Structure 1
Amino acid sequence: MNGVTYQVFQARLTYTPKACEKCGVKNENHSVIKHGTKTSTIKLGYIIFQPVLLRLKKQRFYCKVCDQMFTASTSLVDKHCYISNLIKSHIA
């Protein structure tokens, strides 16, 4: 990628949400359903002097009540961000 050799890991993030992130309705009677995936490429830092990327396939969800979609989240990276929190803490 751009003349740099990366070590690339692939992972999938999925779970069953307890409630809708947009409207807050509880996930009863399958009111929040799985609705495809979104792949994010996240920079993780270096392992043995080689840059590492994570191709994270995140589950998308659809709320039947509010007609909105949201994506699975993780503490590894902030929402709408492609740099891991570990790298941010090293910079700080």
Structure 2
Amino acid sequence: MVYALLQLNVTDADALAAYREKAAEALARHGGKVEAAAPQPTVLEGERPAPDIAGVLSFPDRESALAWIDDPDLQELHALRRKGAESNIVLVG
């Protein structure tokens, strides 16, 4: 199991809402799921401000996570996420 840390700063709430309607299904195509998500997360340590939304995604393995982000059939959906928010996704594992 590997995890991805997700940080979003919302720039277009409508676009992000449209993305969220399809995100779980897109993750599931590659064995992924949202383990936890929080609006208004709390920074425990560090100087960087908290993102608007933070989450933890899980995937069976590194290859599945890379397949999800690189899936040509999901590029329009990833673009919708990027339109809706400044996003940072970090794979751990």
The verdict on a shared fold, with TM-score over 0.5 as the criterion, is: no
Greater per-residue strand proportion: 1
Query: Larger C-alpha radius of gyration, 1 or 2?
Result: 1
Relative CO higher for 1 or 2, CA cutoff 8 Å, sep ≥ 6?
2
TM-score (norm 1): 0.28
Greater per-residue helix proportion: 2
TM-score (norm 2): 0.28
